[in-house]
Structure 1
């Protein structure tokens, strides 16, 4: 196998061995196959609605040996933050930018929404494509636009897609709104099985195929699990849950949720086995995290953190996360550095030998975390960290900022001026996270100057949202009719699929 190196390394090799035969060059390259100068393979694994307290290394009630193995063999990111819901986190991961900048922060993208990740954004897959990553696959849930082909993963830098466009699909019949949503590329796929198993198996198979290439690969695995609907195979429920000893719908859902996580962990194990079998595990980056916290109705899954999905408290935005890269990251480490989803792109681009500034003039909000990952005790320059969503509309929005050990949470009408906070329409909470990471002591009344200082930054952040941002969640739902098999035509990337029927038109 030829070496997978930066262009400069390739030039040096060419000069040193210009008189050698092709066989000798290939042999030399093979002998260098484990050197740190080579570009690593990249595997990003994203869980969906996985609570802080829903992994084995945090809570032995949940059986996740393969996730736990990643923690044991890599670095745990104890202060890793994401958006409070699905689509915005995915948008931030792929762009390195706060999704509010391009209208993807207010709400998720539901089936009836004519909206997607703007094609003007430069994605991680597109950047890696120019850095030598010829194979760039995505397996699982897209959730970044599905009603026009221009928003399809294959139009956003990926070379292979296997999975579903929408969130919250049925795990067994692979449908959303009673229409099957399961695809390879642009084509509907008549494949049977449990969604989590199909995603993991497809990713593992693709890794095996891609590892045979001379080029490094990028494998992105956004599982739909353990997002609702709460569905798991009977054998998984028997192994991981205990329905016979619980009553009440939410308690039963919690047991199924455990089974969904266990089944996902099994799939992660098969993906890791495929990496190991390739012989390139040492130089493969594996980054695992959740897209937001767990849902609030399932008891204790974010404990001891306050809040849940769709809130900007810690339980909604702080998630389990770890990175394994044996060639560069010492096993068993952890860090308290504040970091998160927008940092993944600049970090992986740096790992691949590139610089974000070479791909876009737009501001990249994330930072390169390679020093944090590789150097024990390393920190980053202090920066404010923002969280936002307005899924219900401008009358009820959720904003938070973490800065220099403090956190301000503001819930209420759209915030355009700090003076609004004196009118009593907002719930205002100020926490000193360095001393109160679980947000138990509200200091807002005692520290009005600190509230105003942080609120000014929240006003500026909220003002970034463009007028053509994704609409609040419920708008446009009535009368929507999905396209057959959620079909998209790549030859007409702007064509809108699906339609809305009014009472008069039915």
Structure 2
């Protein structure tokens, strides 16, 4: 009897310990936007209404510097695995270019955060854009997720939910029940309802398609911004820049980056052209607005379900705002079937408005200057994060995985299903999130490569090279965060140090000279890149 009592007591004690551990470990929500520029949130300087994300920023922490991989699929590969994109197998994009580092989908050695967290007792959920599958491999339901939307191959590969026929109103605008942002969010909330009785903690990866082109929005959201962008991109950029200084996102001595030579002069455009361009930004703003509304709805669902109290929420974007002009690229002029904003239209804000979206930085998505790789980053966790904190940060998407694993007290396995996983190259962001330090210290540096564009950062120094050039630019980001002054000629030793570190990293991660891969590049991507290289003389009008 005594032995039985002791055994029961031991079992009860163990059960209570396990229960306490489950209760203590936080729920985790990672929200990824698509093509959102650095300044497109109110908390980062925008005039767009984003009260829910602004609330998370005011009650949490914002990073001034948080880096991505400059374009969609490579960024997602790193977010999901904690690996540099080449190491994960997605070095170029979601295309197979014939080498392991460029196969276009996540390899087995790069464990997803769902695989690791599920093995450590988490319920794993995802809704939205995946975009790192291929050859019937690495779909989210194959890589550790318990609940997935959209759960079909086309949806996973294209990065867009497969809705079938989209219902529209009389003018061609989508009905709210069919609008992708609403649909992605609704499935995430459905998953939260389905698990709300569970004792296990959960992990939700919510990957929105907004505000990626084509520009399509709900009419009630577009109406809020009518006339707001009639002033043009130069004026909007200046207003955002001034607001960023007031918010503390920028220092008072910060300066704007130098504008591209091929940006259109707003004042020289015809009235009809200005109105056409302003409408594009009205629709883009409406897409960001609806994204924020969906996050507000998610917060309410978490609160109503009793799931919010012990939840950390992280928000970021996959790259800077894009330079793509669909009128010139991807057959946009031929495919476009309706007014901008409506279903069937095929237009983008292009680099003119993206120049404002990426305030105060230089360049765009796909490039490795700050405008392409520096994303807004917000983390909210009232239990551990001091409210309304702005830090330098200098985080990178490879840091998300080790951060989440530390939060979850999750063990990263030495072996998984008979495979030895790659080691994690990133660092936990917890010291910055909790206010112990202002920035992540990494003397080994950070590195990038995308379609021949290359960059390295060690300390305050950043080295950049833009394909097809092999020459290096050098910037002192402490003095010149907007990359206005190339100081490579004055600092040959620094250029040598960073370039050697870059080539060492490239070798370790399977990066090859892009000249070896250029002939394997998909035609549409090659034509787009060539068009960007050739855009040097500004035309008189936008069409």
**TM-score (ref. length: structure 1):** 0.76
CA–CA distance in structure 2, aligned partners of residues 466 and 305 of structure 1: 27
Find 1:377's aligned residue among 404, 412, 437. 437
| C-alpha distance 435-347 of structure 1, shift in aligned 2 (>3 A) | same
Aligned to 1:492: none
Equivalence map 1:180-195=2 (5 Å): 193-195=178-180
Find 1:302's aligned residue among 350, 353, 358. 358
| C-alpha distance 107-17 of structure 1, shift in aligned 2 (>3 A) | closer
**What is the number of equivalent residue pairs in this alignment?**
422
2:501 is the counterpart of 1:457 = yes
Higher helix share: 2
CA–CA distance in structure 1, aligned partners of residues 518 and 89 of structure 2: 11
| C-alpha distance 446-476 of structure 1, shift in aligned 2 (>3 A) | closer
| C-alpha distance 260-277 of structure 1, shift in aligned 2 (>3 A) | same
Aligned to 1:206: 191
Contact 1:201/1:270 (<8 A) preserved:
no
Aligned to 1:482: none
| C-alpha distance 19-196 of structure 1, shift in aligned 2 (>3 A) | closer
The Cα of 1:358 is off from its aligned counterpart by 4.2
Equivalence map 1:144-155=2 (5 Å): 144-145=132-133, 147-155=134-142
2:356 is the counterpart of 1:311 = no
CA–CA distance in structure 2, aligned partners of residues 235 and 241 of structure 1: 11
What secondary structure, in the 3-state scheme, does the structure 2 residue paired with 1:366 have?
A: coil
| C-alpha distance 247-443 of structure 1, shift in aligned 2 (>3 A) | same
Contact 1:429/1:444 (<8 A) preserved:
yes
The Cα of 1:426 is off from its aligned counterpart by 2.5
Contact 1:74/1:329 (<8 A) preserved:
yes
Contact 1:412/1:427 (<8 A) preserved:
no
2:397 is the counterpart of 1:410 = no
2:352 is the counterpart of 1:364 = no
Contact 2:320/2:371 (<8 A) preserved:
yes
CA–CA distance in structure 2, aligned partners of residues 315 and 268 of structure 1: 25
CA–CA distance in structure 1, aligned partners of residues 382 and 491 of structure 2: 45
Find 2:131's aligned residue among 137, 143, 158. 143
The Cα of 1:258 is off from its aligned counterpart by 0.5
CA–CA distance in structure 2, aligned partners of residues 54 and 227 of structure 1: 13
What secondary structure, in the 3-state scheme, does the structure 2 residue paired with 1:286 have?
A: strand
CA–CA distance in structure 2, aligned partners of residues 19 and 212 of structure 1: 23
Contact 2:88/2:109 (<8 A) preserved:
no
Find 2:77's aligned residue among 91, 101, 111. 91
Ranges in structure 1 where 5+ consecutive residues have no aligned partner: 1-13, 176-190, 391-396, 414-424, 479-506
What secondary structure, in the 3-state scheme, does the structure 2 residue paired with 1:46 have?
A: strand
Aligned to 1:76: 62
State the Cα RMSD in Å: 3.3
Contact 2:89/2:105 (<8 A) preserved:
no
CA–CA distance in structure 2, aligned partners of residues 321 and 473 of structure 1: 36
CA–CA distance in structure 2, aligned partners of residues 172 and 238 of structure 1: 25
The Cα of 1:254 is off from its aligned counterpart by 1.8
Aligned to 1:394: none
Find 2:303's aligned residue among 271, 276, 282. 276
